A and B are shown apart, each in its own frame.
Chain A
Amino acid sequence: MADWAHAGPSIIASFLASMVEFVEALTIVLAVGITRGWRPALIGTAAGVLFLTVLVLVFGPALQQVPIAVLQVVIGVLLLLFGMRWLRKAVLRSAGVLKLHDEEAIFARQTAALEGENAPTRLDKIAVATTFKAVVLEGLEVVFIVIATGAVGHKLLPATLGAVAAGVIVILLGVALHKPLARVPENTLKFAVGVLLSAFGAFWFGEGIGLHWPGADLSLVALVAGFLIASGLGVVLAKRAFLDRNAEAGVVFKSGGNV
């Protein structure tokens, strides 16, 4: 039975994280569809979705057999690794250390690469493989996010609904616009999702090792706030370190020039 009263954070985390992944998958599918034709693009997409469905049907029920404490620790650890990886990247992008993810540039690169290949007259295996790979890789992340945010605490259904809603929105926008969703503020989404997933990860891991969180589920809010503050501090300090480093490099360059 889904615990709908406390499902809000699971739905939000699953919705936002899945939206990022669906946008990335859509970019590749659109690039393949436009350059190589929609038939192989849709065959690859359908095969990817089928593969993921089989994966969920095979491994999903097995999760019910795992003891709750083990599930909390394993999912907590994986969520921390996954969420803090996203958070690191989002912080470095916000600080200007890394370039922002550019869906239009990825679309252009993918399109150029596919246009260079000769399209066969029968089934275009390259196009099918490209969309299959994109859908499976991004879809695996969606599956993981749904399981991670929903498997513990009977919130699998709300988390799935969050992901499905994100998928429907992205697909409808993709069909309507027929171009990559470049205006989706991907780094802001990744930032928010990184904070949410890291908070979930710390919470589940703590529960798994027997910590009794003060305020129970409400401590998730404090964890979200804590990761948000830490990330904000990270952006400020990383920006300063990056500028200092560049300034030092400039000085070295100038003095080198003078010599």
Chain B
Amino acid sequence: MNVLKTAVQEVIGLFIEDGRYAAAIFAWILIAGVGLPRLPIPESWGPEMCKAVLLFMGLATLLVDNVVRSARKR
């Protein structure tokens, strides 16, 4: 049982190290997954490009925000 628990913890650890960071990524993915396909962007703005940029910018912001916060804590 202990071995199984350790194995599960190790596998989860492959994806989650900083719980807050992982939760933020997951939340953004959820928002993007639900919201982006429904976002009414005018054709003249290039909706696909706008959605792609929004998806990326959210992820990039989370990364930069997390590393700065982590640096301040140490």
Interface residues of A (CB under 8 A from B): 73, 77-78, 80-82, 84-85, 87-89, 91-92, 95, 97, 137, 140-141, 144, 198, 202, 205-206, 209-214, 219, 223, 226-227, 230-231, 233-235, 237-239, 241-242, 244-245
Contacts and interface: CB of A to CB of B under 8 A. Distances in A.
B48 A84 contact: no
A237 B14 contact: no
Interface-centre pick from B15, B21, B72 (highest chain A CB count, 10 A): B15
Contacts of A227: 59-60, 63
B10 A137 contact: yes
Contact of A212 (B16, B48, B56, B68): B48
B21 A97 contact: no
Interface of B: 10-11, 14-18, 21-22, 25-26, 29, 32-33, 36-37, 46, 48-49, 51-52, 55-56, 59-60, 62-64, 66-68, 70-72, 74
A214 B14 contact: no
Contacts, number: 116
Given A81-B15, A230-B63, A223 B56 contact: yes
Nearest to A194: B63
Contacts of A211: 36-37, 48, 51-52, 55
Given A202-B59, A233-B64, A238 B10 contact: no
Interface of A is mostly: helix
A238 B71 contact: yes
Contacts of A239: 71
Contact of B60 (A92, A97, A230): A230
B49 to A, nearest CB: 5
B74 A84 contact: no
Contacts of A209: 32-33, 36-37
A131 B60 CA distance: 37
A237 B64 contact: yes
Interface-centre pick from B18, B33, B46, B59 (highest chain A CB count, 10 A): B59
Contact of A210 (B37, B46, B60, B66): B37
Which 3 pairs from chain A and chain B are nearest by CB?
A230-B60, A238-B71, A241-B71
Contacts of B33: 73, 205, 209
A95 B72 CA distance: 12
Given A205-B33, A219-B52, A226-B60, A88 B67 contact: yes
Contact of B67 (A73, A77, A219, A237): A237
A95 B48 contact: no
7 contacts: A85-B21, A88-B21, A92-B70, A198-B59, A209-B32, A235-B67, A245-B72
Contacts of B52: 206, 211, 213-214, 219
